[in-house]
């Protein structure tokens, strides 16, 4: 996938996107219940170590959660990204049990940003299994990415976006593999 700061020709308004899918040997209902259990996200996420629901009914549309995150010093090591521990807040924008769970990252004033994460569940093998699709789409730059990219020159911006996208793609692939392990051992 070729990524730069201009919108995708195939999808206007998209800065970048990443996607991975995997077949899970469990039902869509069970897989959905596991991935919407925020306290367990540290079992599969590359950065989110857990979190808590801070507003609304957990895992329902309109609810907000605070994610606890941890990033090492080796991640795009040359760039001015957050290192160590930090928190994000996100709002659930779509929640259909056994079908889709989608959330957006909020800015510092709890406004929605165009940073959308999704889990989709498709029945397979007559419902005894499911295909999990995990995706990320970034439209306009988030508040945090603007802070990172503003001081960089054009070459460094391009380099950052390429390396950051590669990181997200690798994280999403690793996440679905870890989810497979988690749901199949339950």
**In this structure, what is the dihedral angle of CA atoms 174, 180, 185, 186, given to the nearest 10 degrees?**
110
Which CATH number does the domain housing residue 43 bear?
3.30.530.20
Phi then psi for 140, rounded to 5 degrees? -65, 150
If one compares 2 and 91, the residue with the highest pLDDT of the two is 91
pLDDT in tens, 120-168: 999 999 888 999 999 999 988 888 888 888 899 989 988 998 899 899 9
* Average pLDDT, rounded, for the chain: 89
9 inside domain = no
Does any domain span residue 132? yes
**Residue 34 confidence (pLDDT):** 96
Q: What is the pLDDT of residue 17?
A: 85
Domains of the chain: total: 1
Q: Which residues pair with 134 in a beta bridge?
A: 20, 119
Give the model's pLDDT for residue 109: 93
Greater confidence (124 vs 2) lies with 124
pLDDT at residue number 14: 66
pLDDT recorded at residue 1? 24
Residue 165 belongs to a domain:
yes
pLDDT at 11: 54
Residues 167 and 28 sit within 8 Å (Cβ to Cβ): no
CB 3 within 8 A of CB 10: no
Give residue-wise pLDDT tens across range 78-125.
888 888 999 999 999 999 999 999 999 999 999 999 999 999 999 999
pLDDT at 82: 86
pLDDT at 47: 93
The pair of structure tokens assigned to 161 is: 């976006």
Domain containing residue 55: 29-185
11 occurs within a structural domain? no
Identify whether 98 is part of a domain. Answer: yes
- The reported pLDDT for the residue numbered 3 is 29
At residue 73, the 3 state secondary structure works out as coil
Task: Give pLDDT tens digits for 30-65.
Answer: 999 999 998 899 999 999 999 999 999 999 999 999
For residue 10, being part of any structural domain is answered with no
Residue with tokens 């709002």: 91
Q: Quick one: pLDDT at residue 100? A: 98
Q: Coil, strand or helix: which one is 74? A: coil
């Amino acid at each position: 996938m070729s990524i730069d700061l201009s919108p995708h020709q195939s999808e206007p308004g998209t800065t970048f996107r990443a996607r991975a899918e995997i077949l899970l040997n469990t039902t869509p209902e069970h897989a959905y219940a596991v991935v919407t259990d925020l306290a367990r996200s540290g079992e599969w996420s590359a950065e989110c170590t857990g979190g808590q629901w801070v507003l609304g009914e957990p895992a329902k549309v309109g609810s907000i959660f605070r994610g606890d995150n941890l990033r090492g010093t080796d991640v795009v090591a040359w760039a001015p990204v957050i290192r160590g521990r930090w928190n994000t807040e996100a709002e659930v924008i779509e929640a259909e049990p056994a079908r889709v769970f989608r959330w957006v990252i909020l800015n510092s004033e709890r406004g929605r940003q165009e940073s959308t994460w999704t889990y989709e569940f498709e029945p397979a093998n007559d419902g005894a299994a499911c295909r999990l699709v995990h995706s990320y789409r970034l439209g306009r730059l988030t508040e945090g990415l603007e802070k990172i990219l503003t001081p960089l020159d054009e070459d460094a911006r391009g380099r950052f976006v390429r390396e950051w996208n590669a990181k997200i793609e690798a994280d999403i692939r690793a996440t679905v593999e870890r989810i497979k392990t988690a749901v199949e051992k339950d």
